Amino acid sequence: MLPKILSGREAADALLASLKPKVKKLNPKLVVVQVGDDPASSSYIKQKFKSCEAVGMRSEHIHLPENTTLATLMETVTKLNADADVTGFIVQVPLPGTLNDAVPQIVKAIDPKKDIDGFGAYNLGKMFLSTKFEHLPPATPGGIIILLEHYRIPVEGKHVVVVGRSNTVGKPIAVMLLNRDATVTVCHRHTKNLAEITRQADILIAAVGKAGLITGDMVKDGVVVIDVGMNKIERGKLPALVGDCDFDTVSAKASAITPVPGGVGPMTVASLIRNCIRAKERQIAGGK
C-alpha cells in the first residue's frame, strides 16, 4: 500500500490560516537579520517573509554586508532587543567566515522574550520542564510536533528513533517527544549498528544532512517517517533537493512519510511565525 504523504505545505497553510486573526489583533513584527548573501539563507528568508505576508504580519529585513564585524552585529542585536516595536527577531545562520564561530555569543545576546528561533539557553532549558513551558521551542522541532498533531499521529508510548542530535533539531525534538510520553532513542554519528536501532522505530525522525542515509532495509513495515534532511544533489545533471531517506525504498515500507521538499521545511517557517505571535502574547502578559 502507498504511504500517506504528510504534506507540510497543507499543514502549514492550515496553521497560518488559523493564526491570521491573532496577527490582526496583536500586530506583531518579525525581523530577520542577514549577513552576507548565502543563497540558501536568502531563499529561506524569502519563504519566511512570504509566510509573514500570508498571515498579514509586519516584517523587516536587515541585510548587512558580508564584511560586517561582530561588534556591528552585536550592536544590531542590542538595538533590536531595545526596540519595543520589534516582537521577535532571528539572526539567520550560517554567518559568513569567522563570524559563524560567534553564533553562541550572538544567540546569548538575544533577549529570551524575542528569541523566536528558540535557540537560546533560556527557552531551550524551559522546554525540559514540560509541554507547558514550551513557549518558544526551536522552529523545526516545533513544526514537527504541529505536523504530527495535524495528521493525528499519536506519539504516546511509541518508540521514536531520532537520528541526529543537533541543538536545533535532534536534541530538542527528543525532549519534546519525551514531554509527550514517547519512548525516545537518539542516534548520532558515533552510534553503532544504526540500522538495528532504526528498525525498532514506530516513528523515525531523520535529521542528519546525508542524502540516502536511511534505506528501506533500515525501517520496519508501517513506520512513520519524518525526514528533516535537506540535501542538494545532482539528479541526471539537474540539481535536486532530497532528504536523508532514500524515498523510494523507505516509502515502500512506511505507513506515512514527509516529502522533501514540502514536508518539514514549510512547518519550520509556520512554526517560526507561531513563535512570533506567542512572543507578542507573552510580552503583553508580562511573562518570559
* Contact between 91 and 33 (Cβ < 8 Å): yes
Rounded Cα gap, residues 288 and 265, in angstroms:
27
* Contact between 131 and 121 (Cβ < 8 Å): no
**Looking at 92, 113, 227, 246, which residue is catalytic?**
92
- Of 112, 141, 170, 172, which lies in the binding site for ligand NAD, with binding defined by CB under 6 A? 170
**Looking at 111, 117, 202, 227, which residue is catalytic?**
117
* Residue whose CB is less far from ligand NAD, 51 or 168: 168
Rounded Cα gap, residues 74 and 105, in angstroms:
9
* Residue whose CB is less far from ligand NAD, 191 or 215: 191
Rounded Cα gap, residues 249 and 262, in angstroms:
19
Q: Interface with ligand NAD includes 147 (CB under 6 A)?
A: no
The single-letter DSSP state of residue 208 is: S
Q: Interface with ligand NAD includes 187 (CB under 6 A)?
A: yes
Q: Interface with ligand NAD includes 257 (CB under 6 A)?
A: no
Q: Interface with ligand NAD includes 6 (CB under 6 A)?
A: no
Reported as half-sphere exposure (CB side, CA atoms, 13 A), residue 162 has a value of 22
Q: Interface with ligand NAD includes 230 (CB under 6 A)?
A: yes
Site mask, ligand NAD, residues 61-90, x = CB under 6 A?
------------------------------
* Contact between 138 and 263 (Cβ < 8 Å): no
Q: Which helix (H) or strand (E) holds 34?
A: strand 29-35
Q: Interface with ligand NAD includes 163 (CB under 6 A)?
A: yes
Written as nine digits, the cell of 33 is 537579520
How many residues belong to the site for ligand NAD (CB under 6 A)?
A: 25
Q: Interface with ligand NAD includes 166 (CB under 6 A)?
A: yes
Alpha carbon dihedral 21, 27, 33, 39, in 10-degree steps, equals 30
* Residue whose CB is less far from ligand NAD, 117 or 134: 117
Q: Which residue has the cell 520542564?
A: 129
Q: Which of residues 127-146 bind ligand NAD (CB under 6 A)?
A: 140
Q: Which residue has the cell 569567522?
A: 98
* Residue whose CB is less far from ligand NAD, 110 or 230: 230
- Of 135, 229, 251, 279, which lies in the binding site for ligand NAD, with binding defined by CB under 6 A? 229
Q: Which long-range contacts (CB under 8 A, 24 or more apart) does 44-50 make?
A: 44/92, 44/269, 45/92, 47/265, 47/266, 47/269, 48/269, 48/272, 48/273
- Of 147, 155, 264, 276, which lies in the binding site for ligand NAD, with binding defined by CB under 6 A? 264
Is residue 283 flagged as an active site residue? no
Rounded Cα gap, residues 98 and 285, in angstroms:
39
- Of 109, 194, 241, 252, which lies in the binding site for ligand NAD, with binding defined by CB under 6 A? 194
Q: Interface with ligand NAD includes 164 (CB under 6 A)?
A: yes
Q: Interface with ligand NAD includes 215 (CB under 6 A)?
A: no
What is the contact surface with ligand NAD in residues (CB under 6 A)? 140, 163-166, 168-170, 187-189, 191, 194, 207-210, 213, 228-231, 264-265, 268
Write out the catalytic residue numbers.
Answer: 48, 92, 117
